[in-house]
Amino acid sequence: MENRYDSIVVGAGTAGTYFAKLLAEQGYKVLVVDKSPKEKLGSRLDIFHIDKELFSKFGVPAPAPADEDYVCEFDFSISKSAFDRYPKRTLYPFVVMRLPLFLARLARWAESFGVEYAYNTEFDDFIYANGKIQGAKLRQGDKTLEIAARLVADASGIGSAVRRKLKEGYGVETFEIGPEDKFYVILRYVKLKNPESGRISYSTAWPFYKTWIAPQHDPDGAIIGVGANFSFDFAEEMYQKFTAQIPLPPHELQYVEKGTTPYRRPPYSFVADGFVVLGDSACITKPFSGEGITAAWELCAIAAEEFGKAMREGRYPDAASVWNTNVRYQRDQGAKFAYLLATLIGAVNSTAAENDYMFKKDIIFKEKDMTAMNRHFYVNLGFAGTVALVSKMAGGVITGNISLDTVRSMLRSVKYAGRLQKHYQNYPADMRAFAAWRQKADQLWSAAGTMADTIKR
Ligand SMILES: Cc1cc2nc3c(=O)[nH]c(=O)nc-3n(C[C@H](O)[C@H](O)[C@H](O)COP(=O)(O)OP(=O)(O)OC[C@H]3O[C@@H](n4cnc5c(N)ncnc54)[C@H](O)[C@@H]3O)c2cc1C
């Protein structure tokens, strides 16, 4: 490790390594630091699913079946109602992979572009000069090192260790991602007792219980996952409700993994003078699934391009010179995610019977729309689609299958979701208009509420 780099990236996860590679490729000297030892990197999670189509979009080398991080692929997933009925197919391919092995392969790829790694190295604090970030203090055991850099990138995951250390008012929010702002996920790795009567070769989800069953590395096994706000205990309660209602294939528990994923709006700005926040620390996860890897690559790709331009010829990347990172992300994926996040706040209000009815009548859970949502994060209902949806909901109310309260809650969330989407699409190109934009965004989010509030009610 030297004592000066163009950029220090904190966190060697999927966000940090991808961003580091993109900067190094443009000729910058990049150091990635991670507090974890190299051999423990990514060990918090083994099996994960990733969008097959997005490797080529982001230029990340896809795993080949012979690679050790590759497990299998599936081309469609199924969603079922709260009473295990009306299966709907989402036609969208996923690759099943092993995270620690994927991270090791990604790091080798980044190293081939010149990225340096320092493991067992923890971010401690920023170094400021004239009020602007100019590097970082890092801890290695009981040693503290001061490393100069024009850019410090926070890719430290859900703990947001770097962003939270920013001086108040520096330009990026310093909030902690607390229990109401995340999903507590429990993964049970199980062995099927009668695999020959049906192996698990694709993912099946029950959105009402936020549970799913999916393949794992043992072809005779499966993962049964559940996610919920507030706590692991609450997720466990949800799992008990699920198993009381839904028959699972006979199985034996092998082991359990637990982790958390952000579920809240991201900071309004990702950039400040000599600083960018990425990945889980920036709360970039798909609102309908909690998956964060490829969602975060979108912001990484934009940020690497904008910082790459701003840092040419030794220039310092001040907030104004990289503001376009916010504009490009927030107007596009940011607006779509804001819409989905706000819509789902109302959608969690339904009862099991209402959920079953909505599956039956193709309300919300429509095959074509679920495929579009996975691929584009966007469902274009059009005029005819909207009329059909409203009339199906009205039919549900008239026949007593959906309560007026549920419809009101859904319409309310769709109303604020639409306003939020429009507001994000108008993210200000001029930094001077940001304070006013932010004030209105605060008002809209507080009117929309949160999923945690809806569940508590
Ligand atoms: C149970 C579970 C299942 C999931 N399944 C999927 C899935 O199937 N598909 C999907 O796309 N997403 C999934 N996600 C979400 C996904 O894991 C995350 O969105 C993604 O891994 C976040 O990547 P990241 O690089 O931002 O952070 P991380 O992967 O958390 O990496 C952050 C790194 O920063 C390091 N670090 C932290 N603090 C410091 C510090 N002070 N100094 C130095 N280093 C530090 C950590 O050691 C870590 O290596 C799942 C999440 C959970 C909890």
Instruction: Tell me how crowded residue 198 is: count the other CB atoms within 10 A of its CB.
Output: 9
> How many angstroms separate the alpha carbon of residue 157 from the centre of ligand 1?
5
d(CA 91, ligand 1 centre) in Å: 27
Distance 291 CA to ligand 1 centre (A): 10
Does residue 338's CB lie within 6 angstroms of at least one atom of ligand 1?
Answer: no
- Per-residue pLDDT, 389: 73
What distance in angstroms lies between residue 280's CA and the mean position of ligand 1's atoms?
6
Q: Crossing angle of helices 382-398/352-360, nearest 10°?
A: 130
What whole-number distance in Å separates Cα of residue 265 and Cα of residue 341? 8
CA-based diameter of the chain, in Å?
71
CA-nearest residue for atom 26, ligand 1, is 279
Instruction: Give the residue from 336, 78, 340 showing the smallest Cα distance to 211.
Output: 78
Question: Which residue CA neighbors atom 21 of ligand 1 most closely?
Answer: 293
Cα of 414 to ligand 1 centre, how many Å? Answer: 30
Burial of 391 per CB tally in 10 Å (0-12, 13-18, 19+): exposed
Q: Report, in angstroms and rounded to the nearest whole number, the Rg of the chain calculated over CA atoms.
A: 22
Instruction: Check: CB of residue 88 under 8 Å from CB of residue 359.
Output: yes
Which residue matches tokens 């036609």?
A: 91
Which domains does the chain possess? 4-76+86-175+264-322 (3.50.50.60), 180-262 (3.30.70), 334-456 (no CATH)
pTM of the model: 0.95
Tell me 175's DSSP state. Answer: -
Token pair for residue 448? Answer: 């929309």
pLDDT on residue 380: 64
Instruction: Name the residue of 52, 117, 291 to mutate for ligand 1: max ligand atoms within 8 A of Cβ.
Output: 291
Burial class (CB in 10 A: 0-12, 13-18, 19+), 312: exposed
Residue with tokens 């309300």: 363
Per-residue pLDDT tens digits of the chain, which is 457 residues long: 899 999 999 999 999 999 999 999 999 999 999 999 999 999 989 999 999 999 999 999 999 999 999 999 999 999 999 999 999 999 999 999 999 999 999 999 999 999 999 999 999 999 999 999 999 999 999 999 999 999 999 999 999 999 999 999 999 999 999 988 999 999 999 999 999 988 999 999 999 999 999 999 999 999 999 999 889 999 999 999 999 999 999 999 999 999 999 999 999 999 999 999 999 999 999 988 889 999 999 999 999 999 999 999 999 999 999 999 999 999 999 999 999 898 887 776 788 999 899 889 888 767 777 788 788 887 666 666 667 777 777 788 888 888 888 888 888 888 888 999 999 999 999 999 999 999 999 999 999 877 666 666 6
Pocket test for ligand 1, best of 156, 162, 286 (most atoms within 8 A of CB): 156
CA of 55 from ligand 1 middle (Å) equals 18
pLDDT at 159: 97
- State which ligand 1 atom lies nearest to the alpha carbon of 260: 53
Q: Determine the pLDDT at residue 407.
A: 81
pLDDT of residue 414: 83
Q: How far apart (Å, rounded) are the C-alpha atoms in residues 316 and 310?
A: 7
pLDDT of residue 455: 62
- Residues with Cβ within 8 Å of residue 394, at least 6 apart in sequence: none
Question: Is the CB of residue 271 less than 8 Å from the CB of residue 325?
Answer: yes
Q: What is the 13 CA–ligand 1 centroid distance (Å)?
A: 6
Q: Which of 32, 35, 260, 377 to mutate to test the pocket of ligand 1 (most atoms within 8 A of CB)?
A: 35
CA 256-261-266 angle, 5° bins: 180
Per DSSP, the residues of 181-205 read GEEEEEEEEEEES-GGG----S-EE
pLDDT value at residue 372: 80
Structure tokens, 208: 């009402």
Ligand 1 atom 13 nearest Cα: 291
Please give the single-letter amino acid code of residue 119.
Y
Q: What pLDDT score does 382 carry?
A: 66
Mutation probe of ligand 1 site: the residue of 19, 31, 34, 50 with most atoms within 8 A of C-beta: 34
Q: In whole angstroms, what is the distance from residue 75 CA to residue 82 CA?
A: 24
Residue 400 φ/ψ region, left for φ over 0, alpha for ψ in the -120 to 50 degree band, beta for the rest:
left
Q: Which atom of ligand 1 is nearest to the CA of 284?
A: 19
437: number of CA atoms within 13 Å, CB side? 21
For residues 310 and 437, what is the distance between their CA atoms, to the nearest angstrom?
24
Closest by CA to 117, choosing from 127, 107, 125, is: 107
CA of 336 to the centre of ligand 1 (A): 22
Residue 256's beta-bridge partner residues?
A: 188
Which atom number of ligand 1 is nearest to the Cα of residue 162? 41
